[in-house]
Copies of this chain bind each other. A is one copy, B any other.
Amino acid sequence: MNRVPLEKKVLSENDRIAAELREDFARHGVLVVNLISSPGSGKTSLLEQTLARLEPSARVAVLTGDIQTENDANRLKRFGFPVKQITTGGTCHLDARMIKNHLADWPLDNLDILFIENVGNLVCPSSYDLGEQAKIVVLSVTEGEDKPLKYPSIFFKSELLILNKVDLLPYITFKIELAEANARRVHPGMEAIRVSCTTGEGLDEWIEWLQARREKSVERIPETVRA
């Protein structure tokens, strides 16, 4: 069993394409965020609520990944922004080549923010750089406070923790401060926003975070590479 060398080769090929993508995104001033969570934590609901709150003139697009079905793209297309489904057919994560292929006919000049919704999986997507500026991990409050300790990689690599479904807190024993403290044991100083896609709580804060993050990412682009 000689597994590691091949895994390294796959990852280094992925990293090469991701680095190209990152340079492209920077040149065009596109903020790219990679949303990662367990199945059913509410990534698609968060994107629905986000798109619903943006001006029709907003320059945003979505790539949404799943093993099977076009369900998520269908849910997201009704807001009028460009949306494409990436169906992996069994692969447990998106990779940089899938992103590159699906972006081939999308002019990046027309975009300020690209949302990537990864396959629902708290493990494998954390190993694959997609050229994004920020990974964002979504944890719903029904999943238990210990998840950051059990799945540390994705919490360590994510800039932001979205705690979703806070409207259900009265009906469960989840201690939200403990979940945040666990996330910060893995990733000191990690930002966190509490949201409910049902009541709308916290969504303004999330939109403000996105806008501030976009401004920060554009500021970082050296003058010489701006489009």
Contacts and interface: CB of A to CB of B under 8 A. Distances in A.
Given A123-B124, A168-B142, A150 B67 contact: yes
Copies of this subunit: 2
A127 B7 CA distance: 18
Interface stretch (A18-26, A47-55, A114-122, A208-216): A114-122
> Which of A1, A66, A144, A150 has its CB near the most chain B CB atoms (within 10 A)?
A150
A77 to B, nearest CB: 16
Given A3-B6, A13-B1, A123-B121, A152 B68 contact: yes
Q: Which of A69, A92, A123, A172 has the most CB of B within 10 A?
A: A123
What DSSP secondary structure best describes chain A's contact surface? loop
A76 to B, nearest CB: 14
Given A71-B150, A121-B121, A168-B171, A140 B40 contact: yes
A146 interface: yes
Interface string A25-54: 000000000000011110000000000000
Contacts of A67: 123, 150-153
Contacts of A8: none
Give the size range of A's interface with the partner: 35 or more
Contact of A39 (B90, B119, B122, B167): B122
A149 interface: yes
A150 B3 contact: no
A9 interface: yes
A165 B153 contact: no
Interface of A: 1-3, 6, 9-10, 13, 38-41, 66-69, 71, 90, 92, 119-124, 140, 142-144, 146-147, 149-153, 165, 167-168, 171-172
